[in-house]
Chains A and B, each alone.
Chain A
Amino acid sequence: METFVQLIAAGLVTGTIYALIAAGYAVLYTATGFVNFALGAQAMIGGYLTYVFLPELPLIVRVLLAIVVSILVSVASWAFFYRQVAEKDMLSAVIMSFGFSIVMAEFVRIIAGGIPLPAESPFGSGVQQIGILSISNHSMAVLVVGIVLFAALALVFRSRGGMSIRAMFQDKEMAETLGIPTNRVVIGLFALSGVFAAAAGILTGPILSMSPHMGTSLALIAFVGAILGGLGRISTAIIGAIMLGLLETLFAGYVSQDYRTTLVFAVFILVLIVRPAGVFGSKTKVKV
């Protein structure tokens, strides 16, 4: 029982980090049909900015810097690269984001080296005992930050402005005629996804330690999570990613630590074959 509770908590923490990236995917996908694989690399850069590059600056400055850089990368890459390609061929744009994430990873590797670097949690190394569950301050922080960000996301999309954004998802031309500036909204959504990516990177650093290519696998696993729940809606993408975190942690705890990669990607293939729109997705086929 204790192991189970412990694993559930760990799974929720892992899942929340995946969900931050998955939320970024879904925000962009529902609006543009584009999947930005570079979100994982943006998370990685956010982590390096917070923990590795500028240790002399105060923490709050480093965190803000990480978020700002992630936003800038997000928006600029869309405005100057992805958008022009996505208009003609969406798949090329996605492959491009994959290439871009390699560029970022290699850039960081050249500056900081390829050896994984430990990162110290801003929340200290303390551990809290809640009943039979012992949970580190950092893990609690991950859950709290996750809940806050997801709640904020829900508020944004429930607000009047959010409604018009959702109208835009339904019908872009209609939105244009109603006077919703789709281009500016899309830029805003890219900025939003940048915030989520940076948060994921800052939170994951102390758990996994920092390495340049951590973003690539984070991006892929988060995508699997989003697909598992359904990429067509933000809520289902988040739930799917959390589910995947739980599944992965339980599998690692009870079955095999070695084969968790196999599990994750087997889940991916299975979902795509059995339910391409995700476990909670509507039956209408997701168009990519």
Chain B
Amino acid sequence: MTDTLSPATTGATGRRAPSAGNLLPIIGVVVAAVAVVLPILVDDFAFNYLMSYTVITCILALTMHLLMGLAGVFSLGQAAMFGAGAYAAVVIIGQTGIDGTLGLFLVAAVGAVIGILMGLVTLRTTDLYLALTTLAFGYIVENLVRNSDWLGGPQGITGFDITFAGSYLDEPKLLYWVGLGFLYLLIVIIMSVRRSKVGRALMATRESPIAARSIGIDTRRYKLLAFGVAGAFAAVAGGLYTAYALVVDPSVFGIDLTLSVLAIAIVGGLRSMPGIIVVAIVLTYFRNSAETFGASQYVLLIYGLLIVLTLRFLPQGLGGLLTSPRVLAATRSIRARFHGGTQ
């Protein structure tokens, strides 16, 4: 107790900050490459259709990771961003006729604006209130859209074409690849940000706003940045969804969507990108199978149960298992065995 200032002698056995193993990046790149050629390997319409939906879900779920996991902003407003993107895509690409190569970026811009707006409105509040304010945002946008004839009212809009580079984006393979492109872009951005100044600023904002400000971090600015980026990508996901569904109606703002993404993010682990991606794929597949087997009415019940049980018994989600002390200790002991116990 007297030498608390001297280096701890227990350094070797102490828990270390989680670090990605050497193998993980290689696995990631291989999986990413396989994902690109997958539609060629498995040339099946239904499969590709499902895959394109999965990719859209992954994008949306990762915006949740960005906001909740990195910035520590517990937002339930993803549906508002997603829905705004869906309507924006129909108006910009479907009705105005701007090609998706440019149009999707305009959709992203709309989403970023919505996200930042949501950020500005809600950032004066914290935690619970912030979660509910962002949720309220969704209800407001839904209510406004439902009552606007211009956007088709409660029936929504059908009979539009979403094009990308001159081709129709409802072709599952193309939709999948375009979605995958945006997904990879988002993954690269998240990974880069995490290792950069902005990532540390977000971490600081999340862990201790007071301390963050004491080292010159404008916490508001970084939260807004997170809202902007999340909004942009959630909107793109919404835009791609219109090409998938060929219809857009106020249900894109619904609690169903919020709940699905929330379940994915919580079960996957808010702080874990791989966890969220894996769970997004698994749950989308599950949902699709449930529909095939006529069990789709149980899907939301199960999502709700997953949220409750995960928060109760596995608060860090499945991704948290990768960094939990016990798993880390086990990894260390295995490594030690391989390297003659240097660690």
Q: Show the binding face of A for B, using Cβ within 8 Å.
A: 35, 81, 84-85, 88-96, 98-100, 102-103, 106-107, 109-110, 213, 216, 220, 223-224, 227, 258-259, 261-262, 264-266, 268-269, 272-273, 276, 288
Could you say which of A89, A99, A110 contacts B297, with CB atoms under 8 Å apart? A110
Shortest Cβ distance from residue B17 to the other chain A in the assembled complex, whole angstroms: 21
User: Given the complex of chains A and B, what is the CA–CA distance between A110 and B294 in angstroms?
Assistant: 13
Q: Given A259-B143, A272-B133, A273-B124, verify A85-B311 contact (CB < 8 Å).
A: yes
Q: Which stretch in B157-165, B197-205, B301-309 binds the other chain?
A: B301-309
Cβ A84 vs Cβ B132 within 8 A:
no
Chain B residues in 8 Å Cβ range of A106: 298, 300-301, 304
Complex Cα distance, B315 from A88, in Å, reads 10
Q: Is the CB of A90 within 8 A of B128?
A: yes
Stretch at the interface among B21-29, B134-142, B182-190, B232-240: B134-142
Q: Which residues of A contact B122 (CB under 8 A)?
A: 269, 272
The answer on a CB contact under 8 Å between A102 and B259 is yes
Name B132's contact: one of A81, A220, A259, A276 (CB within 8 Å).
Answer: A220
Known: A88-B315, A91-B131. A269 touches B136 (CB 8 A): yes
- On whether the beta carbons of A95 and B315 are closer than 8 Å, the reply is no
Q: A92-B311, A94-B131 are in contact. List 7 more A-B contacts (CB 8 A).
A: A81-B308, A96-B312, A99-B307, A102-B301, A265-B137, A269-B122, A273-B125
Q: Give the residues in chain A near B53, CB-CB below 8 Å.
A: none
B270 (CB) vs chain A CBs: closest residue:
A92
Q: Would you list which residues of chain B between 138 and 154 have a CB under 8 Å from chain A? A: 139-140, 142-144, 146-147
Contact between chains at A102 and B147 (CB < 8 Å): no
- Known A-B contacts A106-B300, A106-B301, A110-B297; the reply to A276 vs B125 at CB < 8 A is yes
- B315 and A103 form a contact (CB under 8 A): no
Instruction: Judge whether B121 is part of the interface by a CB distance below 8 angstroms.
Output: yes
Residues in chain B near residue A269, CB distance under 8 A:
121-122, 133, 136-137
Flag B309-331 by CB within 8 Å of A: 1 or 0 each: 00110010000000000000000
Total chain B interface residues with beta-carbon distance under 8 A: 39
- A-B pairs with lowest CB-CB distance, top 5: A99-B307, A102-B304, A106-B301, A103-B304, A265-B136
Given contacts A95-B307, A261-B139, contact A272 B124 (CB under 8 A): yes
- Determine how close the nearest CB of chain A comes to the CB of B24; give it in whole angstroms: 27
Chain B positions 249 through 287: 1 when the CB is less than 8 Å from some CB of chain A, otherwise 0? 000000100010011001000000000000000000000
Q: List 17 A-B contacts (CB under 8 A).
A: A85-B312, A95-B262, A99-B262, A99-B263, A99-B307, A102-B303, A213-B255, A216-B255, A220-B135, A220-B136, A223-B132, A258-B147, A261-B142, A262-B139, A265-B137, A265-B143, A272-B125
B127 within 8 A of A: yes
Bound-complex Cα distance A261 to B308 (A): 28
How far apart are the CA atoms of A106 and B296 in the complex, in Å? Answer: 12
Q: Is there contact, CB below 8 Å, between B300 and A288?
A: no
What is the chain A residue whose CB lies nearest that of B315? A92
Q: Is B289 an interface residue (CB 8 A)?
A: no
Contact of A262 among B127, B140, B262 (CB under 8 A): B140
Would you call B311 and A265 a contact (CB within 8 A)? Answer: no
Which A residues are in CB contact (< 8 Å) with B127? 90-91, 288
Tell me the minimal C-beta distance from B56 to chain A in angstroms.
22
Contacts of B312 in A (CB 8 A): 81, 84-85, 96
Partner of B301, one of A35, A107, A220: A107
Asked if A265 contacts B140 (CB within 8 A), the reply is: yes
Expressed in whole angstroms, the minimum distance between the Cβ of B119 and any Cβ of chain A is 13
Closest B residue by C-beta to A286: B129
Q: Are B315 and A85 in contact (CB under 8 A)?
A: yes
Contact B308 A272 (CB under 8 A): no
In the assembled complex, the Cα of A88 lies from the Cα of B128 at a distance in Å of 15
Inter-chain contact A268/B132, CB cutoff 8 Å: yes
Q: Which residues of A contact B259 (CB under 8 A)?
A: 99, 102
Q: How far is the CA of A35 from the CA of B135 in the complex (A)?
A: 15
Which chain B positions have C-beta within 8 A of A273?
Answer: 121, 124-125
Interface flag for B74 (CB, 8 Å): yes
Q: How far is the CB of B71 from chain A (nearest CB, A)?
A: 14
Q: Is B126 an interface residue (CB 8 A)?
A: yes
Give chain B nearest CB distance to A26 CB in angstroms: 14
Q: Whole-angstrom distance between the alpha carbons of A54 and B131 in the complex?
A: 37
Instruction: Assess the B131–A95 pair: CB atoms within 8 A.
Output: yes
With A89-B315, A220-B135, A288-B129 known as contacts, the answer to whether A103 contacts B301 (CB < 8 A) is yes
Q: Name the distance in Å between B67's Cβ and chain A's nearest Cβ.
A: 14
Q: Do A95 and B121 have beta carbons less than 8 Å apart?
A: no
What is the chain A residue whose CB lies nearest that of B128?
A: A288
Which B57-74 residues have a C-beta within 8 angstroms of A? 74
Tell me if B128 and A99 are in contact (CB < 8 A). Answer: no
A100 touches B315 (CB 8 A): no
Identify which of A92, A109, A223, A266 contacts B140 (C-beta below 8 A).
A266
Q: Give complex CA distance A220, B262 in Å.
A: 17
Contact indicator B301/A110 (Cβ below 8 Å):
yes
Report the Cα distance A110→B125, complex, angstroms.
Answer: 37
Is there contact, CB below 8 Å, between A91 and B128? yes
In the complex, how many angstroms separate the beta carbon of A225 from the nearest chain B beta carbon?
13
Contact indicator A265/B139 (Cβ below 8 Å): yes
A residues near B139, Cβ cutoff 8 Å: 220, 261-262, 264-265
* Chain B: CB-nearest residue to A91: B127
Contact B143 A262 (CB under 8 A): yes
Give min CB distance, A55 to chain B, whole Å: 23
CB distance from A7 to the nearest CB of B (A): 21
